[in-house]
Amino acid sequence: MFKKILIANRGEIACRVIKTARKMGIATVAIYSEADADAVHVDMADEAVAIGPAPASQSYLAADRIIAACKETGAEAVHPGYGFLSENADFCERLEAEGIVFIGPKPKAIRAMGDKITSKKIAAEAGVSTVPGHMGLIEDAEHATKIAAEIGYPVMIKASAGGGGKGMRIAWNDAEAREGFERSRSEAASSFGDDRIFIEKFIEEPRHIEIQVLADAFGNCVYLGERECSIQRRNQKIVEEAPSPFLDEATRSAMGEQAVALAKAVDYQSAGTVEFIVDRNRNFFFLEMNTRLQVEHPVTELVTGLDLVEQMIRIAAGEKLGLAQADVKFTGWAIESRIYAEDPTRNFLPSIGRLKRYRPPEEGQGGDIVVRNDTGVAEGSEISMFYDPMIAKLCTWAPDRIKAINAMSEALDRFVLDGIEHNIPFLSALMRHPRWREGRLSTGFIAEEYPDGFSVSPPDGEERILFCAAALAVELVRGKRLDRLPGRLGPPSGDFRREWVVKLHEDYVAVQVVRGAVSVPLELELAVEGAGPVTVASSWRPGEPIWQGQINGNPVAIQIRPVLNGVRLSRKGRAATLHVLSPRVAELDRLMPARRVADSSKKLLCPMPGLVISIGVKEGQEVKAGEVLAVVEAMKMENVLRAERDCTIAAVNAAPGDSLAVDAVIMEFA
C-alpha cells in the first residue's frame, strides 16, 4: 500500500479523497493555485504545494508542475479526482514514465473511452446498445446540417472530448444545427483544447441512468447498480439517486452486464461509470464511459456500503477486488443534491462571492435517516469565477425513496448559506414537486416543469399560517430582548400586546395571542385569521439563522433573515418577507404608496459575472427578436444573450475581453 499520495485536484473531491486516505493511514499532499491558498483542502492535507496562478491551465492542468510536486514531496501515487486531468491519458503515461502510480485506469482505456466516437465503435463491437448517429467528424456548419437531416431531427451535437454538459447542443432544425455546431465547437476548443464534433439522434423523453463498475488488474469486474441522473439543466446534473425508480430487475441486470462487457473490452482497471440513455420503454443506449470517479458516487456508496475511493486506491496498489458480483447488496435509497453557486431565479446563472455564512445540516445517522455532506468550503471561503460553481453535495439515505426525499427536504431547510446566490430554494421546491416524488422523470424535467424559469413561490394554505405564526413568535422574542438592552427606556408595564397584524407581501393577517407569555422557551396558543387555534413552541433566540420549533405539534425548521422592520422566512422552496405590526400601524401601512421598480427594458444587462466573448451588433444597427446580441462566458459555459424584441442599438458599452459584474450594462436600445 502507498505511504503517500498527491491529490491533483481541489475543492470537495480533494477533501473527499483526503478523508479516505487518512482512514487508510496514507499521508496526503494537496496542490493549490493562488486563488486556493486558503482553501479547505489545503488545510486538510498533510502537505500542500503551490502549483501556479488561478487559471486552471496554469495550475491544476499543469502536468509538469504536478509531477514536480510529486517528486518534491515523495508522493508515490496521484489521485486525479474528477475534471482537470482525471481523464487525460498523456498525463497518466507521463506519471508512469516517472514511476508514479495513477490512481485510475490505464492510458489505453482512458484514450479509448475518452473519445466519444471511438468509444461508441468499441461499445458496438462489445455488444453494447448504441444510439443511431454519425460517428465521423463534422467538418463545418453546412456538413452538420446535412448529417442532421440524414439522421432526422431532433439531433444532439456533441464535442468528442466533451463532458460536464460543455460542448453539447440539441438541434430541431437546420438553423439550430448550424448555430449549435458553432457554439459546441467553440466551447469544446476552450474547455478541452479539442474542437472535434459529432452528431447523434436525440432520444425524446430520455432518462439518464448510469452503471457504476469496479475492475481490477486480474480480470475481475463487478457492477454496483445504477444511479438515476435525469434531473439536469444545460446537460449538467443537479440531483441524483440510487437506485432508479424506473428500472426493473431485468433491465438493471442487462445494463450492468453490458457495462461490465465494455469495461473488459478495454481492460479497465479502477472505478468507472458507463452512462446510458433510457427511453420510455426501458430501451437503453450507450452514451459514454467516464473513466474516473463520478461526482455522484456518494449515492452508490450509501446503498452498497462500499468506499469507492478506497477501492480505487487498493486496485491501483495492485490488490484484487475483495468482492464478486454475488456479494454486491443494495440497501435502502439515497439522494444527492448538488448545492451550486448559481441563481435559479435567473436561469441558473453563476454567482460568485464570499460565503458569509456556511452552516450545513448536522451529518450522521438519526433513527433510520443518514445525512452526509461532501464539501470543500467553509464559512468565509471565496467562490471564484475560475472554477466549477459547486459548493457541496448534500446526501440523504433512508429505507425507501419517499423517506429519503423527505429527509432531503428537511436537510435543505437546515442548510444555512449566505453571501452568494445559490440553488437551495430550487432544490427545496423540487423535493415537494409531485412529478419528482412520483418518479416520472426525464432529462427534460426542468424545461418541462419550469418553462418560464424558476421563481420562489409565496406560502399558501397551511404554509401561510405557519409563516405568520413563526414571524410573530420571532418578533415577540426579539422585542423582549430589545426591551432589556442597556440604555433604552424601561420595558412597557403590564401584560404584553396580544393583538397583532402580520403583513405577508400585500396581505394583512390578524393574529391574536390567546394564551402564553413571552419567554425562552416560548409556548403560545394563537388565533390566526383564516385558521383554527395554532400552538407554537420554540427555543429560538435572536441571531440564530434557523427558527426551529413545533407548530401544532409538528417539528418545523424555517430559514430566517432580518430585513428592515421585519423578517425574511423561507422553507421548502417557499419564501416571504413578513412584518409584524400593531393594528394601528397596519391600518396606516395600508395607505402607503407601493414602490415602483426601475425600468430596465431599454438596456441589456449582464445576467451574471463573466467574460465577454463576443459582441454581435454595433451602434445604430437594427436587430430582430431572437438575434444574438452578445456571448458571455462564466465558469466555462458560454451564454448567448439574444434580443427579446425588434429594436435599434443605441449604444454598446462593452467589448470582447471585458470582465463584467452582474447587471453591468452591455448595451442600450433606442
Catalytic residue positions, numbered: 288
Cα dist. 282→83, 149, 152, 317, 659 in Å?
A: 30, 26, 22, 38, 46
CA dist., res. 630 & res. 605, Å (int) = 11
Distance CA 553, CA 201 (A): 54
Residue 97: exposed, middle, or buried by beta-carbon count in 10 A (0-12, 13-18, 19+)?
A: exposed
C-beta contacts of 596-602 below 8 A and 24+ residues apart: 602/650, 602/668, 602/669, 602/670
Task: Give the three-class secondary structure for 9.
Answer: coil
Query: How many C-beta neighbours within 10 Å does residue 524 have?
Result: 21
User: What is the spatial distance between Cα 104 and Cα 271, in angstroms, rounded to a whole number?
Assistant: 7
SS3 609: coil
List of residues 6+ apart from 27 with CB closer than 8 A: 3, 4, 5, 21, 46, 47
Under 8 Å between Cβ of 16 and 82: no
Residue 650 in contact with residue 595, Cβ under 8 Å?
no
Pairing label, strands 77-79, 101-102 = parallel
CA dist 213 and 209 (Å) reads 13
Which residue is listed with cell 444573450? 641
CB 622 within 8 A of CB 648: yes
**Cβ-contact 663, 598 below 8 angstroms:** no
Rounded CA separation 190/114 (Å): 17
In which element (H, E) is residue 151 found?
helix 141-151
Per-position DSSP letters for 258-307, written without gaps between them: HHHHHHHHTT--EEEEEEEEE-TTS-EEEEEEE-S--TTHHHHHHHH---
User: Rounded to whole angstroms, how far apart are CA atoms 252 and 599?
Assistant: 54
How far lies 375's CA from each of 6, 12, 13, 309, 392, in Å? 19, 4, 8, 15, 4
Residue 562 exposure: Cα atoms within 13 Å on the Cβ side? 8
C-alpha span between 109 and 126 (Å, rounded): 14
Grid cell, residue 545, equals: 439563522
Q: How far apart are CA 195 and CA 184, in angstroms?
A: 8
**Distant-in-sequence, close-in-space partners of 244: CB < 8 Å, separation ≥ 6:** 207, 209, 226, 227, 228, 252
Q: Are the beta carbons of 211 and 221 closer than 8 angstroms?
A: no
Length of the chain: 670
Distance CA 539, CA 485 (A): 20
Provide the pairing of β-strand 27-33 with 4-7.
parallel
Give dist(CA 540, CA 548) in Å, integer: 6
Residue 409 CA to residue 578 CA, distance in Å, equals 23
